[in-house]
Amino acid sequence: MKLIKNISIIALAIFSFSSCESFFSTTIEVDPPAYEAQMVLHSFATPADSIFLVGVAQSVGLLEKIDNSNKVNDAKVSLYEDGVLKFELEYVDGGPSVAFNYGVNALAGELIFEEGKEYEIRVEHPTYENISVKQIAPKGIEVTRVKLDENQRPSTDGGLANAVDIEFSDPAGEENYYELKMFRNVVFPDGSGYKENVFLETNDFSATASAYGNSLLLKDDNFDGENYKISVLFWNEPVDLELQWNVITKDYYLYSKSLTDYWNAQDFGFFAEPVSVYTNVENGLGLFGMVNESVYDVEE
């Protein structure tokens, strides 16, 4: 009888909550927090670039809509190299689907950036507070070995996965950050084709997920100055593979990692801890990041 009584109490409680429709459907109107609009900048560059693009927009409030009207199209955008003005960027009208609205082309055969030099973007505007951001173009660090190991490595699901072993020599006495991406070249009988992005996993504790293209981030805290090998796992067909090896700036690393953490937190909805996306823009928001990119064929 006691069991029946307890079940009856539980059933009554459930019925009571389910019948209180007004309790759960009540809409609480909350004024969005006050904020001051700032300029937002985003740009990514490599020492191999002959074209440089920058996106400038206005930040929006918590409940406001983000669309093409948020772009700031009347700013003065300048690029400095080691403190000396190098380019005034021109306004680019790429339409509503294009994120970048300022750009510059180098002269034929010339590049915009050089390894090891410091670059600064300055954005001036009569209404918003001026913003700026600096980055040092990273130097290339060579991969010494890229080797495929087909269907031989234990995977996270208990089966066997393809693996690629990547070896390189990390420079000593400095912070270094890397990004690893892999692609498979798919070619059709008519000669056309595309690059298939390969999803990567690893058991390496120095690596973490990147926000871009199923790739991995790596920092040298645990192997500074060493010859290091990282193994990545994947499940795509192991033919016509190429590794994109990026030496990246610390700001690029922190931004990509924070963006991944932010997206992952959304999966927990109500119960997620707030995650701030990293920014390196002074007096504003956004990111200027730099990458030194190399591409290697994956040897079978």
Structure tokens given for 146: 């890229």
Interatomic CA distance for residues 10 and 17, integer angstroms: 11
Q: How far is CA 267 from CA 211, 213, 262, 264, 272, in A?
A: 15, 19, 9, 6, 8
Of 117, 136, 155, which one is at a domain's C-terminal end?
Answer: 136
Average pLDDT taken over every residue of the chain? 84
- 164: pLDDT strictly greater than 70: yes
pLDDT at 273: 64
Of 136, 170, 186, which one is at a domain's C-terminal end?
Answer: 136
Of 91, 111, 136, which one is at a domain's C-terminal end?
Answer: 136
The listed range with the strongest mean pLDDT (149-158, 208-217, 219-228) is 219-228
* Residue, of 225 and 149, whose pLDDT is higher: 225
pLDDT at 272: 54
Mean pLDDT of 21-27: 49
What is the domain extent for residue 45? 39-136
3-state percent helix, strand, coil for the chain, nearest multiple of 5: 15, 40, 45
- 118: pLDDT strictly greater than 50: yes
Asked if residue 214 and residue 117 are part of one domain, the reply reads no
CATH assignment at residue 75? 2.60.40
pLDDT at 21: 47
Pair 155, 161: CB distance under 8 Å? yes
Ramachandran angles phi, psi of 205, nearest 5°: -70, -15
